[in-house]
Structure 1
């Protein structure tokens, strides 16, 4: 435990110079309040929280780190994101892969400058097409590979006429879908 605290402090000190906060693989269950305190005078550009056991991000994250352009939340245990993340007006890349999302969090559709959304290897079965802005001018790619999308959702995404690239893996039919009735 003491090692982990020391490591987090060291990484925060490094981020004061590089403007890139790398707290990956630190066994965090959340972003500690001490991190917000240590980074209070730093205008971060990137934050990597991958490979932890985080289940949720605090709403104050967006307030404290509102200038970041890259956020990596991959390989955690998250199933939702706070609406306050929509205040990340400069965010261009969001990685929520390898988590427990059942659908794309609605907040991702509110990120005005998001170019790349990486959401592969979750438990996403459907996409709310009403929220998916097909004319989104900033979005360049959405990675939805290795999600158990329903057949209808998969087909709609495969045929979607959008201004950005949608990455899908081959859909494996469920056993019951092959039954002739």
Structure 2
């Protein structure tokens, strides 16, 4: 079995400051006690922690997983994750999630098994990460209605989003999208209501076609700034 967290969290330093009064020592002892309790609990459940576990990071992630068991909304935003830790799937294995927020991390990819483990979610927020593609297996998110992939590194719209039959809102603003596959946009058997493509470096031709596109959903575009060379007579 692979380590529980370890490489899954980028911030592995535990910045305890030993200077100052005795209260700092008490706080440090309390945090260490809580961390040890969490590690012991996970070990009893069959998970394997690493020797130098990710301090505050693991506590944050596990605490939010515990909260998700109560409200069915998993919020792992701003956790310095480079991927979804295997331990998250372990902790949430008996919970039917409604939403998952992975925004504000440094995640580069979503594994295919994500759709298997969390196939009932209706909202997925992947914004403000470092992703450039999504796996085809995410089409198994059959209940997904809202997907946010804004502020990433996508060069085009992931084809899988047009295979999500119940998807209503797709936020893809602030990426690096230059061209759009218009054959994908011309899909009638989906539930799309809104596609947000603002703040992408679309080519002039692509922008004009999107502006005039006759599709059964709204396409949001920001005003395009022409490059200087586009006004030159060649």
For the aligned pair, the TM-score class normalised by the smaller chain equals over 0.9
Aligned position for 2:217: 164
> Which position in structure 2 is the counterpart of 1:61?
114
- Give the C-alpha shift of residue 135 in structure 1: 2.8
| Deviation for aligned residue 1:163 | 1.0
The RMSD of aligned alpha carbons is: 0.9
Query: Which residue of 2 is the match for residue 49 of structure 1?
Result: 102
2-structure distance, mates of 1:133, 1:86: 18
Structure 2 counterparts to residues 1-181 of structure 1, below 5 A = 1=12, 2-181=55-234
Q: How big is the shift at 1:137?
A: 4.5
Task: State the match for 2:29 in structure 1.
Answer: none
Tell me the distance in 1 between the aligned counterparts of 2:228 and 2:142.
Answer: 44
The answer to whether the Cα contact below 8 Å between 2:73 and 2:97 also exists between their aligned partners in 1 is yes
Cα distance in 2 for residues equivalent to 1:7 and 1:153: 43
- TM-score, normalised with respect to structure 2: 0.76
User: Is 2:69–2:95's contact at 8 Å kept on the other side of the alignment?
Assistant: yes
Alpha-carbon displacement from aligned partner over 1:115-138 (angstroms, at most 9, x marks no partner): 000000000001111111353551
Partner in structure 1 of residue 4 of structure 2: none
Q: Which has more helix, going by share of residues?
A: 2
Q: Whose RCO is larger (CA < 8 A, sep 6+)?
A: 1
1: CA distance between counterparts of 2:168 and 2:104?
A: 23
Deviates more, 1:129-138 or 1:168-177: 129-138
How many residues are paired up?
Answer: 181
Q: CA deviation at 1:11?
A: 0.1
Are residues 129 and 40 of structure 1, via their aligned partners in 2, closer, same or farther at CA, if it must alter by over 3 Å? same
Aligned to 2:17: none
- Unaligned runs of 5+ residues in structure 1 are none
Paired residue secondary structure (1:130): helix
Secondary structure of the residue that 2:195 maps to in structure 1? strand
